[in-house]
Amino acid sequence: MHRTLSQPHSAQPSAAPPVEHNPFFDLGLIPELCERVAAIGYTTPTPVQREAIPLILEGHDVIGIAQTGTGKTAAFMLPLIDSLLCSPRQNNRERPRVLVLEPTRELAVQVHEATVSFAQGTKLRSVVIYGGVGQRQQEREIDKGCDILIATPGRLNDLLGQRVVSVASVEFLVLDEADRMLDMGFLPQIKRITAQVPRDRQTLMFSATLSHEIEELERRLTNDPTLVEVGGRRKPAEGVTQQVYSVMRLKKPELLLKLLQGLERDAAVPPLTLIFTRTKHDADRVAHVLDHAGVNVTKLHSDLTQADRTKALANFKSRKFDTLVATDVASRGLDIDDISHVINYEPPMSPDDYVHRVGRTARAEKTGIAITLVSPEEEPLMREIEKRIDTQIPRSTIEGYAPPPPIEMSTAERRRLKGWSRR
């Protein structure tokens, strides 16, 4: 049974095929949104959309365990927009009815941009707020009134404290990338914010992993939620080809350069490559080395100003630079189409980070290649990752870069080397 709008709105009809043939219509979305989705170019719902959209439309709380790149933004935002359009505002006109919490500024902006696109042609207004920039402009946007507020927890908490914004009219609460928000230490802010959101609400929580802490948060915030789990929790998307190069630590910059040159030479379409490093210092160093060698490279990490981060991202998205060196936090959840290669300069400390990093390529069921450079001392980390993703990745080597094979020694020889032998 399809619902109709209870208030007029002005979505433009498009020249798309009849809405009855649109698979998003079968999920229960109103025709106007189905047409919008078709105009954006989504022809088939992704698995998380197929599972979550009907549940959210029916008013269930949902816990979504979905990897990045699975289409989860549309999975929660489309049914929420649908719900807003179908139920007229009961409360104060100015205040947000949907609150979405995001771990990073980049992700907040990205979800806001997707929301604006989904809601195009309606009267719904989305506002995004995040830290690291002056708050005046954001205050002005809030003052104009909004239906959907997308925020990082730190800035929202500040603005709530100053009574610049209110979440007292929120009917739909979304915690996106909840695991990362906890990793980043946002739990106190999340508790303070959610305490101000009415209990009578629909709550959606998305996370790449279902940890003990996430279950704790779920118990605190949701009401009899339905679990939606897509594609297994631990594995990178099907379309990613994973490779590991064994390399001497000091040879990594040279090997990286060689691999990049090889990609450039062999690719049918020009590659777009995202390189991850564990630290900001390494990101700076790797970007410097590549730049020096003539690679068209930019970088993204949290020590850069917001303006520089925005510029780096825009330049990478527009392919002004075809290589981006980034740390985990800065690039979490980034949705950049057509990243062909992800290169881990070293294996990340946590297997979850590996899955997230690798998830930057092969988004929305495309294909991509993920390469990890592993020195002998990093092998235990890589093996830990392989255990968690339940996949053994064969080691490739390139002559001149590969570590020497381990020396076979007898126990007596090993002892002698360590000075244990009795003379």
Site for ligand AMP contains 238 (CB under 6 A): no
Closest distance to ligand AMP from the beta carbon of 334 (Å): 9
Site for ligand AMP contains 70 (CB under 6 A): yes
How buried is residue 162: exposed, middle or buried, by Cβ count under 10 Å (0-12/13-18/19+)?
exposed
Closest distance to ligand AMP from the beta carbon of 223 (Å): 25
Comparison of 24 and 401: residue with beta carbon closer to ligand AMP = 24
Comparison of 338 and 384: residue with beta carbon closer to ligand AMP = 338
Map the footprint of ligand AMP across residues 165-194, applying CB under 6 A. Answer: none
Q: Cβ(189)–Cβ(178) under 8 Å?
A: no
Name 144's Cβ contacts closer than 8 Å, sequence gap at least 6: 125, 127
Site for ligand AMP contains 272 (CB under 6 A): no
Closest distance to ligand AMP from the beta carbon of 160 (Å): 27
Comparison of 293 and 364: residue with beta carbon closer to ligand AMP = 364
Site for ligand AMP contains 74 (CB under 6 A): yes
Return the exposure string of 82-107: e unless at least 16 CB atoms fall within 10 Å of the residue's CB, then b. Answer: bbbbeeeeeeeeebbbbbbbbbbbbb
Site for ligand AMP contains 69 (CB under 6 A): yes
Q: Cβ(219)–Cβ(76) under 8 Å?
A: no
Comparison of 67 and 203: residue with beta carbon closer to ligand AMP = 67
Q: Which stretch binds ligand AMP (CB under 6 A): 39-47, 118-126, 151-159, 285-293?
A: 39-47
Site for ligand AMP contains 50 (CB under 6 A): no
What angle is formed at CA 391 by the lines to CA 388 and CA 396, rounded to 5 degrees?
120
Q: Cβ(329)–Cβ(338) under 8 Å?
A: no
Comparison of 364 and 402: residue with beta carbon closer to ligand AMP = 364
Q: Which stretch binds ligand AMP (CB under 6 A): 67-75, 151-159, 175-183, 380-388?
A: 67-75
**Residue from 382, 364, 365 nearest 373 by CA:** 382
Comparison of 305 and 367: residue with beta carbon closer to ligand AMP = 367
Comparison of 335 and 346: residue with beta carbon closer to ligand AMP = 335
Closest distance to ligand AMP from the beta carbon of 199 (Å): 28
Residue in 68, 83, 323, 344 binding ligand AMP, rule: CB under 6 A: 68
Comparison of 64 and 96: residue with beta carbon closer to ligand AMP = 64
Comparison of 44 and 396: residue with beta carbon closer to ligand AMP = 44
Map the footprint of ligand AMP across residues 337-396, applying CB under 6 A. Answer: 337, 363-364
Binding residues for ligand AMP, how many (CB under 6 A)? 16
Site for ligand AMP contains 71 (CB under 6 A): yes
Site for ligand AMP contains 39 (CB under 6 A): no
Site for ligand AMP contains 72 (CB under 6 A): yes
Site for ligand AMP contains 266 (CB under 6 A): no
Comparison of 113 and 378: residue with beta carbon closer to ligand AMP = 113
Site for ligand AMP contains 206 (CB under 6 A): no
d(C-alpha 150, C-alpha 132), whole Å:
15
Closest distance to ligand AMP from the beta carbon of 52 (Å): 11
Closest distance to ligand AMP from the beta carbon of 76 (Å): 9
Comparison of 42 and 321: residue with beta carbon closer to ligand AMP = 42
Q: Which stretch binds ligand AMP (CB under 6 A): 41-49, 283-291, 388-396, 410-418?
A: 41-49
Site for ligand AMP contains 335 (CB under 6 A): yes
Site for ligand AMP contains 45 (CB under 6 A): yes
Binding site for ligand AMP (CB under 6 A): 42, 44-46, 49, 68-74, 335, 337, 363-364
